[in-house]
Amino acid sequence: MQLMEEKIRTEGKILPGGILKVGSFLNQQIDTGFLRAMGREIARLYGGSGITKVLTIEASGIAIAAAAAMELGVPMLFAKKHKTSNVDGTVYSTVVHSFTHGTDYTVVVSRDYLLPGDTVLLVDDFLANGAALRGLVELSRQAGATVAGAAIAIEKAFQGGGDALRAAGIRVESLAVIESMDGGTVTFRR
Ligand code: G4P
């Protein structure tokens, strides 16, 4: 998506450790016109895939997932980062290890909302090592739902998560794919 590459070039800030800051349009302040365009692009990519639900993880994925779900005309569902146990068995749950933050966290989604008959589109803002996306794939597997694929705003290809998921047979569409951020310059995959 040309516009995504332009936004990253003009507004993105490269931080140490291979982190890209996009707080001006995606992660803190949200450019709403651009959000609508992202939703439309994701709906164009997955329009013919029989999606019944868009699934993301709180927090930063929610806005993009909602924009995509609105365009697709389906509900948006977000997995919650949870600290308590699943004592009453009402949720699907899995542990995600974040390399970016150096922590483990549990994500849960209610059994009432993620259903065996669902065909889900997984959406997130960033794809780095892919731990968050693998967590969503696992929650979908537990529910018996079908994963149609993933739509990501910004993939950092140099961390390998996206290509590993593609190699595992999952369709991954990213609106911008960053090959490298070496020397303070963003290079996109062509
Ligand atoms: P990981 O396996 O390296 O941890 O990467 P993953 O793709 O699972 O993403 C983990 C978290 O790190 C996500 O947020 C993602 O948005 C964030 N992240 C990864 N790389 C970058 C980056 O370059 N820039 C920014 N701004 N964020 C990045 P999260 O932990 O789920 O938190 P939240 O922000 O969604 O609440």
Q: Is the peptide bond before 176 cis (omega within 30 degrees of 0)?
A: no
Of 22, 27, 82, 100, the residue with max ligand 1 atoms within 8 A of its CB, to mutate for a pocket test, comes to 100
Which tens digit of pLDDT belongs to each residue from 115-127?
999 999 999 999 9
Which tens digit of pLDDT belongs to each residue from 6-43?
999 999 999 999 999 999 999 999 999 999 999 999 99
Q: Report the C-alpha gap between 79 and 155 in whole angstroms.
A: 20
Of 14, 98, 163, the residue with max ligand 1 atoms within 8 A of its CB, to mutate for a pocket test, comes to 98
Q: Which atom of ligand 1 is nearest to the CA of 135?
A: 8
pLDDT of residue 85: 64
Three-state DSSP state, 87: coil
Check: CB of residue 74 under 8 Å from CB of residue 52.
Answer: yes
**pTM beyond cutoff 0.75:** yes
